[in-house]
Structure 1
Amino acid sequence: MTTTTDTSAIPEDNPVLRVPPASAAEAVAYFRASLTFHADVSDVAAALAVGGDAGFVVIDSRSTESWDQGHVPGAVHLPTALIPEQAERLLDKAVPVVTYCWGPGCNGGTRAALALASLGYRVKEMLGGIEYWIREGFEVETWQGRERRAADPLTAPAGAECGC
């Protein structure tokens, strides 16, 4: 496959290429940086499934009512508003933290990550939040125990790895 760098051949009304893509070097820097700040639910689940020390702690930054509806097994409940007063009691600054909230339409995990980073913690945000955790068919924990819903075939290929 060949690509062109001649932008004169691109129609002015092309909404995708109206602003040209970054150079390869700029793209490498951007996407590498993105991966330093984010983890997806499948990667978090795979790391936790190995057992033992995953090398990070998962923080659920939602309200108590939301936490009670179901959360990532083994996660620590630390609502964003309580981070300044409780983080040092609950977390070790030497251990990376992965935050999450509801889902892609919510920036609560981002706000929690910012609050923790401001206190000196190394943080990643789990993309998709608890919504995609559940949609991909991973177990959630409630006060009644663990439960698993069927995976959404639009987010998790049935019986196959996504290949990413």
Structure 2
Amino acid sequence: MITTAPTLASNSVLRVAPASPAEAAAHFRASLALYADVSDVAAALAAGGDPGFVLLDSRSTESWDQGHIPGAVHLPTALIPERAAGLLDPAVPVVTYCWGPGCNGASRAALALAELGYRVKEMLGGFEYWAREGFAYESRQGAERRAADPLTAPVTGACGC
């Protein structure tokens, strides 16, 4: 346990003072209202029954065919304004995903859905981390699964976060 307060300007981590506990709590609560992670989405889908949300893949048809999460709805971002009402119930939250952390397609899809009145979250990590964490996916060849990447997911057990 650290018993003395560090000098705030002593290093680049503390050059800007940390937020107050109340500010930090508000920020992280807001973040959790907007984002879900891959393992939480996988657990909700694996629990069986209605997970309480629709998982939406916002990528192109070619990307969908290359690999997508089982049970996801395919709705490319550009088609959301014209097709969302026919595919999605506004009373059910939507979780969007795209390729991965280097892609903001899920953010664009979430914005388009929010502007249409849907409650929405973005799945952090996208399809890339779904596959890297070893969860099953579907492609035009059928069901597939890769071994979990030990840099993104525990090889045995749960991450505990």
Partners of 1:105 and 1:150 in 2: how far apart? 22
Tell me the secondary structure at the aligned position of residue 156 of structure 1.
coil
Amino acid aligned to 1:63: S
Tell me the secondary structure at the aligned position of residue 59 of structure 1.
strand
* 1:5-154 alignment, distance < 5 Å: 9-12=7-10, 14-154=11-151
Amino acid aligned to 1:37: L
* Structure 1 segments of 4+ aligned residues over 6 angstroms from their partners: none
Q: C-alpha displacement at 1:135, in angstroms?
A: 0.4
Q: What are structure 2's unaligned runs of at least 5 residues?
A: none
Distance 1:19 1:53, change over 3 A: same
> How many equivalent residue pairs?
161
TM-score when normalising by structure 1? 0.94
Q: C-alpha displacement at 1:146, in angstroms?
A: 1.1
Partners of 2:9 and 2:158 in 1: how far apart? 38
CA deviation profile, 1:67-103 (whole Å, cap 9, x unmatched): 1000010101101100000000000001100000011
Q: What are structure 1's unaligned runs of at least 5 residues?
A: none
Q: C-alpha displacement at 1:51, in angstroms?
A: 1.3
TM-score when normalising by structure 2? 0.96
CA deviation profile, 1:99-138 (whole Å, cap 9, x unmatched): 0001111111011000000000000000000000000000
Q: C-alpha displacement at 1:144, in angstroms?
A: 2.8
Partners of 1:3 and 1:73 in 2: how far apart? 50
Amino acid aligned to 1:36: A
Tell me the secondary structure at the aligned position of residue 102 of structure 1.
coil
Q: How large is the RMSD of aligned CA atoms in angstroms?
A: 1.3
Q: Which residue of 2 aligns with 1:155?
A: 152
Q: C-alpha displacement at 1:5, in angstroms?
A: 5.1
Q: C-alpha displacement at 1:10, in angstroms?
A: 3.5
Amino acid aligned to 2:73: V
